[in-house]
Amino acid sequence: MEHKIKTQINSNTYTKKDENLEAKVLGLIEKNKIKPTSKYYFSARNKAFWSLFVLSLIIGSIAFSVMIFTFTNSESEIYEITHDSIIEFILEMTPYIWIVLFATFAFLGYENYRHTNKGYKYSFSIVLLFGLVANIAGGVALHEFGISRLIDENITTNNMFIRSSDFTRRQAWNQPDKGVLSGEVISFSDGSSTFVLKDFTGNLWTISSDYIPDVSLDLISTSSQIRVVGITSGNGIASSSMTRVMSACYVLPWDSAKYAPAVADIREHLKNSDKNERNISDQRNNKCKAMKSYNIINSMVQLK
């Protein structure tokens, strides 16, 4: 009996405290004019975070796809032609801005997902790992569909903050003092021993084609983009006609995908060439062998 009375007293005491707390809370609500938040607000907030999460994944995937394109388009196998060391090549070709974008949006993706209605269920490592895997998978898919090339060639054109891999390669292949030049053929006619090239910086060059293999002539046509390995006259200083002069040792396509096949074609052509062209090849060797760039290309096409 005594135990029942004590329990009832404690229950009454708790109820009074609860009532006092309720009154206190209601008083604060009234005093501060606090209004209940609509469920639509939380619904919209949740959708916003989900949308930002998906957007982060998309941008992260785009960044990763361009990173893939940049590295696969860097022509690392012939870096010695345009760079003095592998470190210099890596520092110049690394797409820093895209790496930063990838890391930033991978983290933003995590942050936005954490604020969704289901974000609390998973740990930091699981959510971040999922975001990274999704970004990488999306980046690979975009690259395979050719989207990364379109982004690199179009969005980054004339952008002072984001340089395309093509822009970086153009700079690397515009070093006439090292015997390398690239640009668009402005004027060429069959039977002529010279053609006019406008390099990617806008300078005009008269290129002598006397010593290039015959198979390379097929790469030269008006409006074609090519790269030239050769020797400049007067260190490439413009003459009174404002046209620089170079003697070509090799002519190769500008397109990275066509580069290796062109080298293979030259190798096969020289292997089966007649004595006259072999003599021309010897003259080219004597004239061009002082250039590091020529020796690298020549080692790739020399007869075995």
95 with 121, same domain: the answer is: yes
157 CB neighbour count, 10 Å cutoff: 12
pLDDT at 126: 77
Q: Determine, yes or no, domain membership for 124.
A: yes
Question: Residue 34: what are its φ and ψ, rounded to 5°?
Answer: -80, 130
> Where do we find the tokens 């293999």?
213
Distance CA 275, CA 211 (A): 14
94 with 208, same domain: the answer is: no
162 with 182, same domain: the answer is: no
Sign of the Cα torsion 159, 54, 111, 70 reads: negative
Q: Is 148 in contact with 61 (CB distance < 8 Å)?
A: no
Q: Determine, yes or no, domain membership for 148.
A: yes
Q: HSE on the CB side for 98, CA within 13 Å? A: 25
Is the pTM higher than 0.75? The answer reads: no
pLDDT at 98: 82
pLDDT at 181: 94
Please report, as a single letter, which amino acid is at residue 62.
I
Q: Determine, yes or no, domain membership for 16.
A: no
pLDDT at 41: 58
Q: Determine, yes or no, domain membership for 26.
A: no
Q: Determine, yes or no, domain membership for 12.
A: no
225 with 242, same domain: the answer is: yes
Q: Determine, yes or no, domain membership for 6.
A: no
pLDDT at 156: 57
Close Cβ partners of 152 (under 8 Å, ≥ 6 residues apart):
66, 69, 70, 73, 164, 165, 166
Domain boundary among 122, 146, 167: 167
Sign of the Cα torsion 276, 280, 283, 289 reads: negative
179 with 96, same domain: the answer is: no
112 with 136, same domain: the answer is: yes
246 CB neighbour count, 10 Å cutoff: 22
In which residue ranges of the chain is pLDDT below 50?
Answer: 1-2, 5-9, 235-240, 304
pLDDT at 120: 65
Q: Determine, yes or no, domain membership for 156.
A: yes
Q: Determine, yes or no, domain membership for 134.
A: yes
DSSP E strands, 125-277: 180-187, 194-199, 204-208, 225-232, 244-253
144 with 192, same domain: the answer is: no
231 DSSP β-pair partners: 247
C-alpha 258: how far from chain center: 19
Parent domain of 259: 174-301
pLDDT at 236: 45
pLDDT at 174: 92
Domain boundary among 142, 167, 192: 167
Domain boundary among 167, 201, 225: 167
65 with 160, same domain: the answer is: yes
C-alpha 8: how far from chain center: 76
213 with 253, same domain: the answer is: yes
- If one counts the domains in the chain, the total is 2
145 with 232, same domain: the answer is: no
244 with 189, same domain: the answer is: yes
pLDDT at 211: 79
Q: Is 211 in contact with 176 (CB distance < 8 Å)?
A: no
Sign of the Cα torsion 27, 29, 33, 35 reads: negative
pLDDT at 225: 92
pLDDT at 125: 74
245 with 277, same domain: the answer is: yes
